[in-house]
């Protein structure tokens, strides 16, 4: 504790010294009472038992006076003169300005310079600026710290706590800020403005506000020149960090792009403090005429105005601002006829209402359009579902049915039996489902399922002619009936010495009918039952298995021979053969007439009856 006393002889705490640095860093110069009112407003309602005002002020400011004394010992604060009321002015040294930048969380370049020499003439303007800051900030007393105070003091503190709210915090305010029309922020050139107060409170819907305080000593022309400098600063474009041209003020302060529906410049508020001889109303009328091109908007047919590229210029008095705060209807915007709150005066309520109505109508039309699209989508979806159901029904109607069990094919089985291309392999059982196909395949592959006629000869004595040529039961080429087992065995080779049966393409009935027809057509022919040269001659064939000639005679006495087809193998049932025909058949190879043959489309050769007659006469002789 002794060490703390040596460093801070006045016994101030860190929080008190920090409050002093924050206030002087924001407003540059202030009295101890203003520092107390901005940082500890609850002290205003204490020490009400003191008899005189000076005693009450001395008691309320004692703690901050001690902090100022300790900061002065450390070289951070210095006295800057006295006000017209005799209060001592305090301001920061360069070291104190650096310390205040840490307390406020601002870059040192944004702190400006120390306000040395401001109090040599009473500092009436800085004191008015401080009062405007306090009227806009409106710090609230902490009622918990006023326990035990008289009822009158508690009532006054409660009224202040429940009064209109202010804007931002102490760190939201900066004073004596240079606005360079030329030069840079740190070294501004000539022709620029200097804002008395810059307020940045986006949390209270005031992202940026410039405040000019006039003690009613300046004329309308002087104020118009300031507004002209503001316009030059707002219109100045510089390259931002991304290389694009942007307004210079946007490189230091952040403002949302959609703060208002139009695109005006940042607002400027004029606060008239009735100290000087000039009438604020007269000054405002002159200022409005001189700066009309900077604040007047463009009117639409419905009476709304657009303020693109214009300055929202407003004014009020210090008295109204202290009584009602920024939420009271005490602000008049140039070009309007009624007082408004600060937010309404900054904004463009009529245009905002119009745009809001248009946006609401647009949203309604969009919702209606989306609902229409939704209904169309539902109709299309329902139509697609119906079409899909119809396609499914048609597909189910075309789905194959197993020939064995009658069940419908699965999609995989259906796809397997469908032809996939010219060179694709075909399914072995396209009429059967998967289960029946497996059963049929297993039955065909099982040795027990084979019939006797399907079995191959056993033992080593079987030769190459013992195996059957046909692995499936033959079908008669005449009547189309399946061969019986006996007929199948008769026409197949069953050993080395066995010869194949005659007419292996005919079934048993057709073969017997063929034999019967032959006997009827050639009665008494020797060797008709056994094959050999005689039989071949009898059937009209040469011994070397040439085509068989079947003579027949029609009503004109001509004879014809059929060759080649199976039908030609049958004897022709007409009249009994003539004597000439029998002579030709008996003569065999001894009589070979030089017959003249004619070829027809069906392959039948016809012999002239005259040549047959001559051949018969030669044989009798």
Bridging pattern class, strands 332-333 and 313-317: antiparallel
**pLDDT (0 to 100) of residue 92:** 93
pLDDT, tens digit (0-9, with 9 covering 90-100), for 298-335: 988 888 888 999 999 999 999 999 999 999 999 999 99
CATH topology of domain 1-163: Arc Repressor Mutant, subunit A (1.10.10)
DSSP track, 498-526: --PPSSTTS-HHHHHHHHHHHHHHSTT-T
The pairs formed by 549-552 with CB atoms below 8 angstroms and a separation of 24 or more are 549/605, 550/521, 551/577, 551/581, 551/584, 551/585, 551/607, 552/577
- Between helices 62-73 and 53-60, what is the axis angle to 10°? 50
CB atoms within 10 A of CB 574: 12
Q: Which of 11, 8, 12 lies closest to 74 in space, CA to CA?
A: 8
Residue 292: in which H helix or E strand, if any? helix 292-295
Rounded distance, CA 579 to CA 592, Å?
17
Residues of the chain with pLDDT under 50: 1, 452-468, 527-621
The domain spans of the chain are 1-163, 166-347, 411-449, 540-620
pLDDT for position 3? 52
pLDDT of 541 reads 43
Residue 113 and residue 522: Cα distance in Å, rounded? 148
Residue range 207-246, pLDDT digits in tens: 999 999 999 999 999 999 999 999 999 999 999 888 899 9
Question: Which spans in 467-608 are helix H?
Answer: 485-491, 508-521, 533-538, 566-569, 579-587
Q: 154 with 143: CB under 8 angstroms?
A: yes
Residue 90: per-residue pLDDT: 93
Q: How far apart are CA 340 and CA 331, in angstroms?
A: 5
- The pLDDT, as a whole number, for residue 269 is 98
Pair 32, 40: CB distance under 8 Å: no
Q: Are 81 and 68 in contact (CB under 8 A)?
A: no
Q: Specify whether the CB–CB gap between 185 and 243 falls below 8 A.
A: no
How are beta strands 605-607 and 559-561 bridged, if at all?
Answer: antiparallel
Report pLDDT for 498.
Answer: 57
Could you tell me the two tokens for 71? 């900061």
- How far is 191 from 180, CA to CA, in rounded Å? 7
* Res 525: pLDDT: 60
**What's the pLDDT score for residue 487?**
83
The CB-side HSE value for 283 (13 A sphere, CA atoms) comes to 25
- Please give the pLDDT value at position 163: 87
Pairwise CA distance, residues 474 & 482, whole Å: 6
């Amino acid at each position: 504790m002794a060490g703390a006393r040596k460093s801070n002889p006045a016994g101030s705490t860190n929080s008190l010294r920090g409050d002093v640095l924050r206030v002087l860093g924001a407003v540059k110069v202030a009295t101890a009472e203003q520092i107390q009112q901005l940082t500890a407003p609850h002290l205003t309602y204490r020490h009400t038992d003191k008899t005189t005002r000076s005693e009450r002020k001395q008691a309320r400011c004692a703690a901050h006076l001690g902090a100022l004394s300790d900061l002065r010992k450390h070289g951070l604060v210095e006295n800057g003169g006295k006000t017209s009321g005799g209060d001592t002015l305090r301001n920061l040294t360069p070291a104190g300005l650096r310390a205040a930048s840490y307390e406020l969380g601002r870059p040192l370049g944004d702190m400006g310079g120390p306000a040395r020499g401001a109090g040599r003439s009473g500092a009436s303007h800085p004191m008015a600026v401080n009062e405007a800051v306090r009227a806009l900030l409106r710090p609230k007393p902490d009622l918990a710290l006023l326990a035990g105070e008289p009822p009158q003091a508690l009532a006054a503190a409660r009224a202040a706590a429940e009064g209109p709210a202010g804007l931002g915090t102490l760190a939201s305010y900066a004073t004596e800020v240079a606005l360079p029309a030329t030069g840079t922020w740190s070294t501004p050139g000539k022709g620029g403005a200097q804002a008395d107060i810059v307020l940045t409170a986006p949390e209270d819907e005031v992202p940026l506000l410039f405040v000019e305080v006039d003690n009613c000593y300046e004329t309308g022309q002087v104020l118009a020149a300031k507004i002209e400098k503001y316009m030059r600063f707002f219109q100045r474009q510089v390259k931002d960090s991304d290389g694009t041209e942007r307004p210079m003020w946007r490189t230091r302060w952040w403002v949302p792009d959609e703060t208002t529906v139009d695109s005006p410049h940042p607002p400027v508020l004029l606060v008239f403090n009735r100290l000087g001889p000039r009438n604020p109303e007269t000054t405002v009328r002159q200022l409005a005429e001189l700066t009309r091109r900077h604040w007047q908007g463009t009117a639409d047919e419905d009476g709304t105005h657009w303020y693109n590229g214009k300055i929202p210029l407003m004014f009020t008095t210090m008295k109204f601002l202290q009584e009602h705060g920024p939420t009271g209807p005490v602000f008049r915007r140039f070009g309007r006829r009624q007082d408004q709150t600060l937010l309404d005066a900054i904004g463009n309520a009529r245009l905002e209402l119009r745009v809001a109505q248009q946006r609401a109508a647009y949203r309604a039309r969009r919702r209606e359009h989306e609902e229409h699209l939704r209904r169309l989508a539902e109709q299309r979806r329902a139509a697609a579902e119906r079409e899909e159901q119809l396609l499914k029904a048609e597909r189910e109607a075309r789905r194959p049915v197993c020939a064995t069990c009658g069940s419908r094919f699965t999609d995989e089985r259906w796809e397997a039996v469908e032809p996939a291309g010219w060179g694709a392999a075909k399914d072995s059982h396209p009429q059967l489902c998967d289960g029946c196909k497996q059963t049929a395949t297993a039955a065909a592959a099982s040795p027990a399922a084979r019939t006797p006629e399907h079995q191959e000869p056993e033992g080593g004595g079987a030769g190459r002619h013992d195996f059957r040529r046909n692995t499936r039961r033959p079908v008669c080429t005449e009547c189309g009936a399946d061969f019986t087992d006996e007929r199948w065995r008769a026409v197949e080779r069953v050993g080395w010495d066995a010869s194949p049966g005659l007419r292996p393409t005919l079934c048993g009935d057709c073969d017997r009918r063929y034999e019967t027809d032959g006997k009827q057509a050639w009665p008494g022919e020797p060797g008709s039952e056994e094959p050999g040269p005689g039989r071949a001659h009898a059937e009209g064939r040469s011994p070397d298995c040439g085509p068989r000639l079947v003579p027949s005679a029609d009503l004109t006495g001509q004879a014809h021979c059929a060759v080649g087809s199976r039908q030609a193998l049958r004897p022709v049932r007409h009249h009994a053969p003539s004597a000439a025909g029998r002579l030709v058949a008996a003569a065999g190879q001894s009589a070979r007439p030089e017959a003249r043959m004619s070829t027809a489309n069906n392959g039948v050769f016809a012999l002239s009856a005259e040549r047959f007659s001559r051949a018969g006469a030669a044989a009798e002789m």
